[in-house]
Structure 1
Amino acid sequence: MAEDKTHFGFREVAAEDKAKLVKNVFDSVANKYDVMNDLMSMGIHRIWKRIALQLSHVRYGEKVLDLAGGTGDMTLLFQKRVGDAGQVVLSDINAAMLSRGRDRLLDQGISGNVQYAQIDAEKLPFADNQFDCVCIAFGLRNVTHKEEALRSIFNVLKPGGRAIILEFSEVQGSLLKKTYDFYSFKFLPLMGKLVANDAESYRYLAESIRMHPNQETLKQMMATAGFERCEYFNLTHGVVAVHRGYKL
């Protein structure tokens, strides 16, 4: 693929166009995002996120960047861990998603240790060595230049800091893979049409998962970006995986 091309789902598009196409997807689904997450995963996404929290080893007083944080699920978990002495920055490139996340947290009375930023994961506007943990949950597959995002994450982490990447990955087992493919390409778009009035965005979701680097590939990409002690943990037979790497 030429350097100025990338994938938007199964389609090959100009790299400069992908961010706009992804924006359109999340502008469309923002209002139904949380409902659809619960329906699509039958609520299991909440368990995946709690496991990612545990693997992050975030402690009281630390500073966390929640990249592509959307409606704030991970921020809600992190802000309880860091307490009043810590800080969580909820960030997203999409204004509609970030606005829903901010409203949700404020409605729950959460304000003191959470800040908000509309930012691009490929070009983080922070000085080096700022965060104890950077988490990106279900967002990396939508990034155009994943290598740039990983390097940017590495730069803003403090020495000893951790990157946590929670993302859909490669399902393990041929029988489960066939079942998962049927669910993804037949059931998800139908559910998207019925609940969110948007089948195409959920068809893109299924396609983007298949185009995302698998577990071993992403692990190597993290190592190339400078991370050490890189490892991953398959959840639900590889439907998702948590990758962790350290800046030492």
Structure 2
Amino acid sequence: MNETVSFGYQDVAPAEKTQRVGDVFRNVASRYDLMNDAMSGGMHRLWKDRFVSRVKPRAGEQILDMAGGTGDIAFRLARSGASITVADINPAMLEVGMDRAQQRGLDGLVWTEANAETLSFPDRFFDAYTIAFGIRNVTDIPAALREAHRVLRRGGRFFCLEFSTVTWPGFKDVYDAYSHRLVPKLGKLLADDEDSYRYLIESIRRFPNMPAFRQMIADAGFAQTRVEPIMGGLVAIHSGWKI
């Protein structure tokens, strides 16, 4: 692992990034879903629906939803009858998710505090591993990808939904202006936290582009890797199989 890693546009020590990312998500946990709606115009709901449709969860499967915090992906996966374990490094995000599950009458989910880089689950335990809008906040992304590969059974599948690099020229300029100028202001207005949302936007800019991240997934041991851009790469679904 490098001596420094990115925290938004800053380069910091790995331990400092882990701590500061934890602070960000503690600050935004109670308003996280509201802000997702505000930042994406509600589009994140459609992206998550498409993501889960690509996972194709099935009854009886064991699925790990990493960085699953508020439960958005887990609730969708659970409709299939699969057994879902929701893992997140941040207890504040898990608390929001557990409260939301209780309100929905969903008592079959397993909630656990876990670091994506050092999972406590045994080898070859899960049929699928999902992570949505979480991988860019991990301190050591290659380590997290290796752990994802380790805990999957042979034939298991990895799916990641994440913001990426916009490739549509005109849209790219509009999105850059919107995200850098308006999103932090929305954070201030809706969550009284401009700095956290500035970090979230900066972290998108520092995340590897689609070909580079696809190669990182392959380097972790996954085969048949794919990337599906959405809205010109505003977000992307990356996937791979353990064979």
Q: Structure 2 matches for 1:106-145, cutoff 5 A?
A: 106-112=102-108, 114-145=109-140
Q: For residue 170 of structure 1, what is the aligned residue in structure 2? A: 165
The answer on 1:193 being equivalent to 2:192 is no
C-alpha deviation, 1:236, in angstroms: 1.4
Q: For residue 88 of structure 2, what is the aligned residue in structure 1? A: 92
C-alpha deviation, 1:9, in angstroms: 0.2
C-alpha deviation, 1:201, in angstroms: 0.6
CA distance in 2, matches of 1:133, 1:197: 37
Q: For residue 97 of structure 2, what is the aligned residue in structure 1? A: 101
SS at the partner of 1:89? strand
SS at the partner of 1:193? helix
The answer on 1:45 being equivalent to 2:44 is yes
SS at the partner of 2:24? helix
C-alpha deviation, 1:101, in angstroms: 0.4
- Tell whether the 8 Å contact from 1:69 to 1:92 is kept in structure 2 after alignment: yes
C-alpha deviation, 1:38, in angstroms: 0.8
Q: For residue 65 of structure 2, what is the aligned residue in structure 1? A: 66
C-alpha deviation, 1:171, in angstroms: 0.3
Q: Structure 2 matches for 1:209-228, cutoff 5 A?
A: 209-228=204-223
- The amino acid across from 2:130 in the alignment is C
CA distance in 2, matches of 1:30, 1:16: 21
Matched residue pairs, number?
A: 243
CA distance in 2, matches of 1:227, 1:57: 18
CA distance in 2, matches of 1:172, 1:59: 34
TM-score (norm 1): 0.96
1:151 to 135, 146, 149: 146
C-alpha deviation, 1:3, in angstroms: 2.2
C-alpha deviation, 1:39, in angstroms: 1.0
C-alpha deviation, 1:173, in angstroms: 1.8
- Tell whether the 8 Å contact from 1:215 to 1:241 is kept in structure 2 after alignment: yes
- Tell whether the 8 Å contact from 1:4 to 1:16 is kept in structure 2 after alignment: no
- Tell whether the 8 Å contact from 1:132 to 1:160 is kept in structure 2 after alignment: yes
SS at the partner of 2:27? helix
- C-alpha RMSD of the superposition: 0.9
- The amino acid across from 2:58 in the alignment is R
Q: For residue 75 of structure 1, what is the aligned residue in structure 2? A: 74
- The amino acid across from 2:104 in the alignment is Q
Moved over 6 A (4+): none
TM-score (norm 2): 0.98
Q: For residue 180 of structure 1, what is the aligned residue in structure 2? A: 175
C-alpha deviation, 1:107, in angstroms: 1.4
SS at the partner of 1:65? strand
CA distance in 1, matches of 2:103, 2:57: 24
- Tell whether the 8 Å contact from 1:7 to 1:211 is kept in structure 2 after alignment: yes
The answer on 1:238 being equivalent to 2:233 is yes
CA distance in 2, matches of 1:207, 1:3: 19
- The amino acid across from 1:39 in the alignment is A
SS at the partner of 1:245? strand
CA distance in 1, matches of 2:76, 2:204: 25
SS at the partner of 1:237? helix
Query: What is the percentage of aligned positions where both structures have the same residue?
Result: 44
CA distance in 2, matches of 1:246, 1:80: 23
- The amino acid across from 2:18 in the alignment is A
